Amino acid sequence: MKKTIFLLIIFFNPLAWAKVDLKKVDQFIQSVAAEIEVEPQWIRNILAQANHQQSIIDAMNRPAEKTLKWFEYRKIFITDKRAQEGVEFWEQHEAVLNEVSAQSGVPAEIIVAIIGVETFYGRIKGNHKVLDALYTLAFDYPKRSPFFTSELKHFLQLAQENHIDPLSAKGSYAGAMGFGQFMPSSYRAYAVDYESDQVIDLINNPQDAIASVANYLNKHKWQPGGQVLSTTEKPSVAMKFNQLKPHMKDHKTQEHYTVLELDLENGEKQYWQGFQNFYVISRYNHSHMYVSAVYELSQNIKALRAEGSAQ
């Protein structure tokens, strides 16, 4: 039986249809309405409020992970302020972090650092309307249209499931939401109702966000007690650097690893070995620099917290 959801009548918004193929939009509406069992007009009314945003496409074409070198990227996230506020976030949510870490096997400092890199502990969650971002990228970003079309469908499902307001939810230019910047599909697959109050809120509830980040890493096969990164010397043999999946084997430890080559400000290179947990964090963001920043920030937060406890 199809579910009918009442929505106030929305006037047609001509900006919603700029630079898109209306036939594809209509096909999407009909297909998704049948799949998630809602009236097509419900979807049509929501999409009528979407605005095509060229700035979103521009941002997609120049992500920091692809335009900056490591020393430039690092300066954004590895700061005293971000480490200090990480300690404060940890102390504020210590009980939740302790419980979630014990259950998932993911260290508290890793969870805190991911939220710190993603949104500065919830301070910078993004100012783009998620509907605008996903609509623009689904219908006017051909090279990744299938991915964002799927995310738009999941976004509508989140609205149907009453987890978000589709007309007001804000996030990144790619449509990621909340403290941990979950894409709609990840929101639906990995979000956790920490308080068991029948409401999963990753946008405004840091406790749900903490539990969900840990669950995401756990479901992607985090190894409790395993290494993320360790320093190493420049390899003596030619190889491809900065691959995400560990593909070489240490015959002494039997661990698989990958090797990172990171550019330093003085023109020199820094080398790291990345292990299984490095790869797990990269499932969150497919960038070796992102994982490196998360790990370094996590260690800075952990050390600063320990220093404060010792005083």
Positions annotated as catalytic residues are 118
Question: Can you spell out the DSSP letters for 199-239?
Answer: ---TTT-HHHHHHHHHHHHHHTT--TT--SEEE-PPPSS--
In the three-class reduction of DSSP (H, G, I as helix; E, B as strand; rest coil), residue 30 is classed as helix
The dihedral built from the CA positions of residue 18, 22, 25 and 30, taken in this order, carries a sign that is positive
Place of tokens 């799927």: 150
CA gap 249, 258 in Å, rounded: 9
CA gap 149, 202 in Å, rounded: 22
Is residue 137 within 8 A of residue 145, CB to CB? The reply is: yes
Give the bridge partners for 130, in sequence order.
none
CA gap 190, 211 in Å, rounded: 9
Is residue 276 within 8 A of residue 223, CB to CB? The reply is: yes
